[in-house]
Chain A
């Protein structure tokens, strides 16, 4: 049963927006996702299943950004070093610089067990890799590329992206590139011939670092949410969303940087001193790029750009998880099958039992969990919307009706993104779908 949170004392007339019910829920401190026990169970279970591979994603993203860097043949970039598996999370674990979350600092035990055995058992790591019996980093790279490709998001608040075009960045990158290819005349020659290509690769590496640092925070958040749920701590979806909002503000100032380690020496391509922060330079662009936009993916449907099925402007792209068609599984894209496959390995038992009761049971669990993932990301997006509202607008219980009206206009503007008719955005948006429990 949907529970509507308490409305603020000062009342506005009901919204006439198409998603008025959702807007009223947001105004009452709720989420875009209806507050039902089933939804809470699904989103928390998925956060846990997502957190385990994410614990690998962030480590490997940083490993690639910092160690693999511009290797022209990065065949073993997913073969993360033990050092990065043991690397302590900056915000969780006993050795954290700033312990905010309670989990352990090194790689999660379930992750380590899976890396060792996978589905096929103890076989050489290379075979695990070739059989795709591993954490599929391709998904993480797809997210990173989305952020790289949809540049200039949230500018000028987001200063990370313009910095990548600055002379200072180019000079830092130049130093690192020359150091990296020291003693390699072929690559040095190529760098002289095609400097922009190398620079662009370097920018990509900076986004590897950006996303790695972003997820370093999110993984322990999701682990802790799962633990709290297991302890009976969350009473409803709004509680889970509030936890995320509080987490966002607790960690908002975390520095975003890009360091490269070449022969033991650290090259600061983006130094911490630039003051780039987690919320504005990583979280907001990530949500925009990955949840909303991404790129048309190869599903069973082909997009025809000449028939105007693909938007002219990148800001109109709508292929993210909030719009994703989870049904055609087996293709690339967001959320790609690979992520679902990753999460499938770490589902909590209560969710496995739940999925067995519906649709085709175990046979289509991949899709069922994909849809739960979609629900959980609507909740994360709700947290971001509420966080933005907190940062930029007014409290939900503000006594001033004008302030409440401003809040409403903000919420309506956010939800109107899901009602646009252009390029089939309205049909693609899953907001109306996730309002019903029957969407599985």
Chain B
């Protein structure tokens, strides 16, 4: 006789911990006495807070009912009823995966940061602050609350790039700030449009009636959402901030930018585009699919031409984010599961790559393809880092046995029936991923070490561990893909079920053209 599921006792503020633990931790670290002279102590404190947040997130994952497609772990506190703003949190499968990714990569980013970081209190406070803000955005169930959390990370990221970045950090940080500010303004305008034009007074998701708007208005508002979040993802031609920001940011910040922040873009497109404007979505889906495929091809081809390995990884990120847009456009149950899986998978693979590129730059002193050589050399080179770089490249290129393959395969399998040509273009882009990673690995890891220059410091365990942990996750999810998709499957299926027209239009001959 089947047992009835045990009722989960309501524990208030479960999701709030994910937001406020890092933010309170950030405040505590910012005022840690004597911390400025003891960066490793501050780093340890920040890592402890991040690890606790991760553990809490995993605990929530255990509490999460994967059979329930609706919002769970909800919280509500009235805030400003006049404005329609409430402290309203909740998580479905999509949010849950993103929350785990956020807390995991925050911990990894802190772990892989230098023990000698200058101004450590500010650095780690900002990272924790971002973690709290991003968690809030993923958990928010109110448009205004989402917007507040979305904007919260803007200045910290600006500071993290402009203070601890590379040579052109000021330029990159300002560019990032302008693009993200424009993105925020567009989001705000679209949100206001959604509520005001539909005659609502509350910004709570569950009270929105955007489907009642005319198709034209829906398309206009959806366009605002797509462009706004397209900047964040980023999609071409809104991507030009990305190579500069990713390259100039230090490795931990690049991990957060590519692994977490970019996911806010794809999350926003799914949550506020696909879910709130299903009819308009069905109309623009073919164009979106082609846009995603073009982004994927552009990212891959441009990556091939790069001479800087970090820039190469940055462009590869543009390419891989394109797959998610194709999956979202297709909006089949399988494609959406694949899209969410790709969001997670891309996050951890990008984190490995940025971390390893950071170690290489730190040890060798250059990221130039033409100067790097022979790092696989067993004694004077960086053999483990090179081996993991090979593995990261393979994971990114979608080699079976690793999470990249699972996510991409599901995306392609799910999208092909709806949009065959964009899907095929994405498959070609995957092939091109292998091309640029072979170029990167061949020039970086193989060949001869330069006898005059190759006196690199040895890689210590604290530099190896983040990559080893990420590798373990990449391989585990590659051979046990259920753990990657089970969390979001019910939610994404429910998402598609509410928009039957998408499937209908997507599978019509018109869409096949």
Q: Residues of A at under 8 Å CB distance from B?
A: 299-301, 325-330, 359-360, 363-364, 366-367, 430, 433, 439-440
The 8 closest A-B pairs by CB, nearest first: A327-B449, A301-B448, A360-B458, A329-B379, A364-B379, A330-B378, A327-B380, A367-B379
Q: Are A364 and B451 in contact (CB-based, < 8 A)?
A: no
Q: A327-B454, A359-B455, A360-B458 are in contact. Are A300 and B380 (CB under 8 A)?
A: no
Q: Which of A328, A363, A433 contacts B377 (CB 8 A)?
A: A328
Residue numbers in B under 8 Å from A364 (CB-CB): 379-380
Query: Are B448 and A327 in contact, CB atoms less than 8 angstroms apart?
Result: yes
**Most chain B CB within a 10 A radius of its CB, from A299, A326, A367, A440:** A367
Contacts of B451 in A (CB 8 A): 325-327, 430, 433, 439
Contact of B447 among A301, A359, A433 (CB under 8 A): A301
Q: Most chain-B CB neighbours within 10 Å: which of A299, A326, A360, A439?
A: A360
- How far is it, in angstroms, between the C-alpha of A231 and the C-alpha of B380 when the chains are bound? 35
Whether, in the assembled complex, B3 has its beta carbon less than 8 Å from a beta carbon of chain A, the answer is no
Report the minimal beta-carbon distance from A134 to chain B, rounded to whole angstroms. 21
* A325 x B448 contact (CB < 8 A): yes
Asked if B286 is at the interface of the complex by the 8 Å CB criterion, the answer is: no
* Chain A CB within 10 A, most for which of B374, B376, B378, B452: B378
A440–B447 alpha-carbon span in the complex (Å): 20
Task: Say whether B87 faces chain A, with CB atoms less than 8 Å apart.
Answer: no
Q: Is the CB of A300 within 8 A of B455?
A: no
Distance in angstroms between the alpha carbons of A329 and B448 in the assembled complex? 11
Judged by a CB distance under 8 angstroms, whether B51 is at the interface is no
Is there contact, CB below 8 Å, between B379 and A366? Answer: yes
Chain B residues near A359: list those with CB within 8 A: 380, 455
Kindly state the separation between the CA atoms of A136 and B128 in the bound complex, as whole angstroms: 56
Query: Is the pair B458, A363 in contact by a Cβ cutoff of 8 Å?
Result: yes
Give the shortest distance, in Å, between B456 (CB) and chain A (any CB). Answer: 9
Known interface pairs A327-B380, A363-B458, A364-B380; A300-B374 also in contact (CB < 8 Å) = yes
Q: Is the CB of A300 within 8 A of B458?
A: no
In the complex formed, the residue of B with least CB distance to A365 is: B379
Task: Mark B residues whose CB is within 8 Å of A.
Answer: 374, 376-380, 446-449, 451-452, 454-455, 457-458
> In the complex, A329→B447 CA distance in Å?
13
Residues of B within 8 A of A328 (CB): 374, 377, 448-449
* Shortest Cβ distance from residue A87 to the other chain B in the assembled complex, whole angstroms: 36
CB contacts (< 8 Å) of B374 on chain A: these are 300, 327-328
Q: Nearest chain A CB to B376's CB is how many angstroms away?
A: 7
With a cutoff of 8 Å between Cβ atoms, the chain A residues found around residue B454 in the complex are 327
Closest A residue to B450 by CB, please name it.
Answer: A327
Chain B nearest CB from A44 CB (Å) reads: 24
Chain A: CB-nearest residue to B454: A327
Known A-B contacts A299-B448, A300-B446, A300-B447; A329 and B378 likewise in contact (beta carbons under 8 Å)? yes
Asked if B379 and A300 make an inter-chain contact with CB atoms under 8 angstroms apart, the answer reads no
Please, how many angstroms separate the alpha-carbon atoms of A326 and B377 in the complex? 11
Q: Which residues of B contact A330 (CB under 8 A)?
A: 378-379
CB distance from A132 to the nearest CB of B (A): 16
- Given that A360-B458, A363-B458 are contacting pairs, would A300 and B452 also be in contact in the complex, using a CB cutoff of 8 Å? no
Q: Contacts A364-B380, A367-B380 hold; do A440 and B448 have CB atoms under 8 A apart?
A: no
Residues of B within 8 A of A299 (CB): 448
A440 to B451 alpha-carbon distance, docked (Å): 9
Q: Is the CB of A433 within 8 A of B448?
A: no
Instruction: Identify 9 residue pairs between A and B in the complex whose beta-carbon atoms are under 8 Å apart, listed by A's number.
Output: A300-B374, A300-B376, A327-B380, A327-B454, A328-B377, A328-B449, A360-B379, A360-B380, A433-B452
Minimum CB–CB distance from A24 to chain B (whole Å) comes to 24
Given the complex of chains A and B, what is the CA–CA distance between A209 and B449 in angstroms? 37
Identity of the chain B residue whose Cβ is nearest the Cβ of A301 in the assembled complex: B448
- Quick one: closest A residue to B383, CB to CB? A330
Chain A residue contacts of B458, Cβ below 8 A: 360, 363
Of all chain B residues, the one with the shortest Cβ separation from A331 is: B378
- Complex CA gap A359/B453 in Å reads 12
Q: How far is the CA of A329 from the CA of B446 in the complex (A)?
A: 14
Once bound together, how far apart are the Cα atoms of A306 and B238, in whole Å? 48
Evaluate whether A327 and B455 lie within 8 angstroms (CB atoms) in the complex, with A300-B447, A300-B448, A301-B447 already known.
no
The answer on a CB contact under 8 Å between B446 and A363 is: no
Q: Give Cα distance in the complex from A430 to B455, angstroms.
A: 17
How long is the Cα–Cα vector from A151 to B452 in the complex, in angstroms? 34
Query: Which residues on the A side are within 8 Å of B457 (C-beta)?
Result: 360
Chain B residues lying within 8 Å of A326, measured Cβ to Cβ, are: 451
Select from chain B the residue with minimum beta-carbon distance to A364: B379
Shortest distance between the CB of A333 and any CB in chain B (Å): 13
The distance from the CB of B167 to the nearest CB of chain A, in whole angstroms, is 27
B364: min CB distance to chain A, Å: 14
- Complex: A359 Cα to B380 Cα, angstroms: 9
Distance (Å) between the CB of B443 and the closest chain A CB?
A: 13
Distance in angstroms from A368 CB to nearest chain B CB is: 10
In the complex, A301 Cα to B448 Cα: how many Å? 6
Q: Check if A327 sits within 8 Å of B377, measured CB to CB.
A: yes
Residues on A with C-beta less than 8 A from B379 are: 327, 329-330, 360, 363-364, 366-367
Q: Which residues on the B side are within 8 Å of A329 (C-beta)?
A: 377-380
A301 CA to B446 CA, complexed, in Å: 8
Residues of B within 8 A of A430 (CB): 451
Which A residues are in CB contact (< 8 Å) with B377?
A: 300, 327-329
For the complex formed, measure the closest distance between the CB of B245 and the CB atoms of chain A, giving whole angstroms.
34
